[in-house]
Amino acid sequence: MSIILQYLYNGHLEEDVMEDIVLHSDAEHAILRKKERRIIMLIFKDNRPDTVTSTFGNGYCAQALVQGSWGFASTTQKEHMKETLERAEFLAAHSRRYKLRKIELYPVTSCTGTWESPGITEVNEATITELCELIRSCQEEVMGLPGIISSTININIITDVSHLWTSQGSSIAQRIQRIVGTMSMVAREGGDMASYYTEFGGQYVSELMSTDLLREKSMHCGKICQNLLHRSLPPSKSTEVVLDPTLVGFLVHEAVGHAAEADIALSGSCLLGKSGHRIAPESVSITDNPQYPSGPGSYGYDEEGVPTQPTMLIDEGMVSGFLHNRETAHIMDAVPHGHARAWNFSCEPVIRMSNTYLNSGDYTFSELVEQVQDGYLIAAGHMGGESDYNGEFTIGTGYCEKIDGGSLTGEIFKGPVVTGNAFQVLNTIEGIGNQDLFEMRAATCGKTQPAFVGVGGPPIKTCVTVRGGG
Amino acid sequence: MNERVAEKALKAAEQAGADEVEVVMESSHDMEIVLKRGEIHSEKDCRTAALGIRTVVSNKHSFTSCNLPYPSIDSLAKHGVFLAKKNVQDPYWHHLPMKNTPVEVKDIYDPSLAHLTPDQLFAYAHILLSTVQSVEYVEVKEGHIHIADETFFLINNHAVSGQFKTTTCEVDLLCTANRSGHAECMAYDYFCSKTADFNLEPFAHAVAQSARNGLDAKKLPHGLRDSLLLMPDPVSQVLFTPLAWAVNAESFLWKTSPFSESMGDQVMSSLVSVVDDGTLPGGYGSRPMDGEGNNTACTPLIQEGVCTGLLHSEYTSNIAGCVSTGNAIRTATSDVTVGPTNFMVQPGDASLEELLAELGTGIMVERFSGSVDVTTGLFSGVCRQAHYIKNGEICYPVKEPTLSGNAFHGVRSIQLLGDSAVPEYQGIVTPACLVDGITLSP
């Protein structure tokens, strides 16, 4: 039995064992990670419990850089940690001849640190019971709305405890607790059906438990769904619009944020080579901020052990920064701000956004609407849109309302898909809402693996193509 | 896989007061290569084991799970019982499956795929890269080759038990055609096999050629009638994903399906027949038993346009007073839900040439990107890889027109079905079809 395994079996501190394994790696650089993911998932459908789930997902992974080539391996058995690092080293060495480029990493100093979400709530069996009651009472209320025939409320409390050790001597511990929820409602009346779906979340479990937040959200969702009965899609056309904060958030995330992820930029996104170039009016600034207070995508260190910092992607209309891991930071000679993220222990870190948002302007909501002569207020963007990294985007929406002569008309339509080029949309911005109108929403981004992100901004007045009916 | 751990969990839950217990174990070995920008980007080797316990106490249920090894299976089982006791009663709960006779399903496990070496995986990657590179102007933007070797074991306290192994190879490829320094058009496709008996070269060549064919796209011509040739990807997305939801017993029983009052009625074109077949040899969703131990089956859902069947789990079948169709979907770390296995739209007899000839002049759509509301059937989005057809001939690519309509109206207007069905996402296997009544606009 190796010395390492003897350590484990003799009950030495896991931290010491991991540190010992990674420091003795033959790789140019090695990272070991441990992640414990505790999930409480409560789903209630139409006042009946669909699932009350409690999961404990623990696992370990190793990444090794050998002759400029990365290898990755994972396991659920801590006794196999050394073997797992050896598998990662084997894959890295073995794949070297198939790779065209030799990877070099941006130098960072080793660090020791901890980070924790604000106000972490101990989720015990009593908390689960309390939450079940809360969901049921919200559901009873919303099912009482005329026309609503079905309601599903899904709440997940996800607590991640992670540790990371590098061969450089870094040692990072983090505890992040998020609430991620969805609500979907279905209304039916006289042969017509309507549905409405919304996501919510952030690092505010205690707030959800202690306020009427859930009740307000479920009633809001139910009332919108009711109102979508007997509505059609709007006609397809390019038009003036006010986009609500969710759509602005998704637009910024899908079309600008992804294009600013350095791995995508290097494969030819529209932002490559544009640093310092003006691509939007001076009023437009876009930030990615892993330190956004209680943000759905907030964290202190990334999966390479790099401490996080905010990054201005667009600063007063000029391309300003990209999101990096250490590999792309070396290629583009930029300082990494901690954007190498991994969904769980069996996923390699990839460059991801955190909380990405359009910075606020100074317009009130009525001032934005007043600028639209013939168009729509479009609301409730859906995640799962896409962009081709040249800024062309496609985003689903929840509903829209006709604006005529600068006033909302009350004429509601089912949600169309909106498309356009993000940079044309940014260039045609004629108003950005003020800080009071700013919202940050939770979403799950799906770039090769899921990631909890925040998407946000204030409403804006601009032009898009509405893809609705004929 | 150590099945004694499952037996231990089952006994611990019973001793803690559970009326019914079901324990599921899964182990998997996954290898993956990621392709980016015309080369191998990274590769990984992951080994995972997990256990899940479904517990029922007085018609109150809970689900707990952990990755293995876990320090105390006993405490996990007791935790499950406690959660069930604290839950509210489910008035519709009857019981877990009481007996099972897993069926034999062929070609879902291939030892040569399970024991694939890293070198063989790298060779697959090389085939994809070199094949795409051989097509002028085209390169691999991103791609994945994923091999999974999985074992599933289940036991419940009604003496239901079973075990099976599956292997899967999934490949996806996104190619760009680049003639002027930037990506002018893209093409994407997906491929899946349960055995190692496949050839990636024609797949890669087809994706690359599709990207190449997208160059020089023109605007949608005016004055086209609303008749379209939809290839299997958009057919599965816009027409049959909502249909799979509509014949799911969960939505049917809770009246969120548009077919809730239409069992036995004509709900779509009489050309359309659909079965869900969990026993299909080599099928993506094929397995001898479902996620709670019931044997899988071939279930008729739509026969010549008439709604004749539903997808059931044990839970929904007990409510409806019928037998489960073996459509309980789950992993060891997730509770049971109802879903399709291989949702198969029966092909017609028209070749692609005949479909094009029947279309005459119009648009053929290969990909769709947009929003589909599975409850209402409403969809709208952008056609990717669309082509203008004149007199039955493919003339030129069309710049991303809008496609919108309602799936439940669309399936009533299917005019002709292609003669070969292709597996698409979420287990939907469908042919191309000629359809009226879907709106296309520039």
Is the Cβ pair B83, A128 closer than 8 Å? Answer: yes
Give the residues across from B302 on adjacent strands.
B274, B307
User: A4: pLDDT confidence band, cut at 50, 70 and 90?
Assistant: very low
Highest mean pLDDT: which of A119-133, B336-350, B361-375? B336-350
pLDDT at residue number B100: 86
Q: Does a structural domain hold residue A74?
A: yes
Q: Does a structural domain hold residue A47?
A: no
pLDDT at residue number A442: 92
Could you say which of A78, A96, A114 is where a domain stops? A114
Is the Cβ pair A95, B63 closer than 8 Å? Answer: no
B58 vs A contacts (CB less than 8 Å) = none
Q: Nearest-CA neighbor of A399 among A385, A418, A383, A424?
A: A418
More confident of the two residues A199 and A243:
A243
Does residue A104 sit in the same domain as residue A124? no
Give the integer Cα–Cα distance in Å for B326 and B164: 15
Does residue A184 sit in the same domain as residue A331? no
Is the Cβ pair B82, A394 closer than 8 Å? Answer: no
**Mean pLDDT, to the nearest integer, of A428-457?**
93
Interface of A with B in 404-463 (CB under 8 A): 414-417, 419, 448
Residue A457 has pLDDT above 50, yes or no: yes
Does residue A88 sit in the same domain as residue A190? no
* Mean pLDDT estimate for chain B: 93
Between chain A and chain B, the number of residue pairs with CB atoms below 8 A apart is 203
Could you say which of A188, A205, A227 is where a domain stops? A227
pLDDT at residue number B400: 80
pLDDT at residue number A1: 36
pLDDT at residue number B220: 84
For the stretch B262-287, pLDDT in tens is 999 999 999 999 999 999 999 999 99
Does residue A142 sit in the same domain as residue A81? no
Does residue A197 sit in the same domain as residue A269? no
Q: Which stretches of B250-374 are assigned E, i.e. beta strand?
A: 274-277, 298-303, 306-307, 328-329, 337-338, 343-345, 362-372
pLDDT at residue number A384: 53
User: A10: pLDDT confidence band, cut at 50, 70 and 90?
Assistant: very low
Give the integer Cα–Cα distance in Å for A61 and A21: 12
Does residue A63 sit in the same domain as residue A140? no
For the stretch B211-251, pLDDT in tens is 999 998 898 888 776 679 999 999 999 999 999 999 999 99
If DSSP states are collapsed to H, E and C, what string results for chain A? CCHHHHHHHCCCCHHHHHHHHHHCCCCCEEEEEEEEEEEEEEEEECCEEEEEEEEEEEEEEEEEEECCEEEEEEECCHHHHHHHHHHHHHHHHHHHHHCCCCCCCCCCCCCEEEEECCCCCCCCHHHHHHHHHHHHHHHHHHHCCCCEEEEEEEEEEEEEEEEEEECCCCEEEEEEEEEEEEEEEEEEECCEEEEEEEEEEECCHHHHHHCCHHHHHHHHHHHHHHHCCCCCCCECEEEEEEECHHHHHHHHHHHHHHHHEHHHHHCCCCCCCCCCCECCCCCCCEEECCCCCCCCCCCCECCCCCECCCEEEEECCEECCCECCHHHHHHHCCCCCCCEECCCCCCCCEECCCEEEECCCCECHHHHHHCCCEEEEEECCCCCCEECCCCEEEEECCEEEEEECCEEEEEEEECCEEEEEHHHHHHCCCEEECHHHCEEEEEEECCCCCEEEEEEECCEEEEEEEECEC
pLDDT at residue number B171: 95
Q: Does a structural domain hold residue A53?
A: no
- Determine the distance in angstroms separating the CA of A164 from the nearest CA of chain B, rounded to an integer: 18
Could you say which of A83, A99, A114 is where a domain stops? A114
Is residue A190 less than 8 Å (CB to CB) from chain B?
A: no
Does residue A100 sit in the same domain as residue A185? no
Say what the pTM is. 0.91
Is the Cβ pair A98, B439 closer than 8 Å? Answer: no
For the stretch B387-419, pLDDT in tens is 999 999 999 999 888 888 889 999 999 999 999
Are the CB atoms for B230 and B194 separated by under 8 Å? no
Q: Does a structural domain hold residue A48?
A: no
A75 vs B contacts (CB less than 8 Å) = 46-48
B44 vs A contacts (CB less than 8 Å) = 71-74, 91, 346, 348
pLDDT at residue number B320: 97
Q: Does a structural domain hold residue A353?
A: yes
Residue in A53, A80, A468 closest to B335 by CB? A53
Instruction: Name the residue range of residue A165's domain.
Output: 116-227
pLDDT at residue number A385: 55
Q: Does a structural domain hold residue A425?
A: yes
For the stretch B121-175, pLDDT in tens is 999 999 999 999 999 999 998 899 999 999 999 999 999 999 999 999 999 999 9
Burial class (CB in 10 A: 0-12, 13-18, 19+), A365: middle
Structural domain count of chain A: 3
Is the Cβ pair A233, B63 closer than 8 Å? Answer: no
pLDDT at residue number A9: 42
Is residue A105 less than 8 Å (CB to CB) from chain B?
A: no
Pairing of strands B378-390, B402-406: antiparallel
Number of Cβ atoms within 10 Å of the Cβ of B258: 23
Is the Cβ pair B37, A266 closer than 8 Å? Answer: yes
Whose structure tokens read 């109108």?
A437
Does residue A133 sit in the same domain as residue A90? no
Q: Does a structural domain hold residue A161?
A: yes
- Mutation to test the A interface, candidates B27, B33, B45, B176, most A Cβ within 10 Å: B45
* Mean pLDDT estimate for chain A: 91
Q: Does a structural domain hold residue A50?
A: no
Structural domains for chain B:
3-213 (3.30.2290.10), 217-442 (no CATH)
Is the Cβ pair A233, B91 closer than 8 Å? Answer: no
- Residue A467, phi then psi, degrees to nearest 5: -105, 90
Does residue A187 sit in the same domain as residue A243? no
Is the Cβ pair B376, A195 closer than 8 Å? Answer: yes
User: A5: pLDDT confidence band, cut at 50, 70 and 90?
Assistant: very low
Is the Cβ pair A53, B258 closer than 8 Å? Answer: no
Burial class (CB in 10 A: 0-12, 13-18, 19+), B317: buried
Longest distance between any two alpha carbons in chain B, whole Å = 73
pLDDT at residue number A470: 64
More confident of the two residues B222 and A242:
A242
Does residue A321 sit in the same domain as residue A222? no
Is the Cβ pair A49, B88 closer than 8 Å? Answer: yes
Q: What is the ipTM of this complex?
A: 0.88
The separation between CA A76 and the C-alpha centre of its own chain, rounded to angstroms, equals 26
Does residue A169 sit in the same domain as residue A300? no
Residue in B49, B88, B141 closest to A132 by CB? B88
pLDDT at residue number A8: 43
Does residue A109 sit in the same domain as residue A248? no
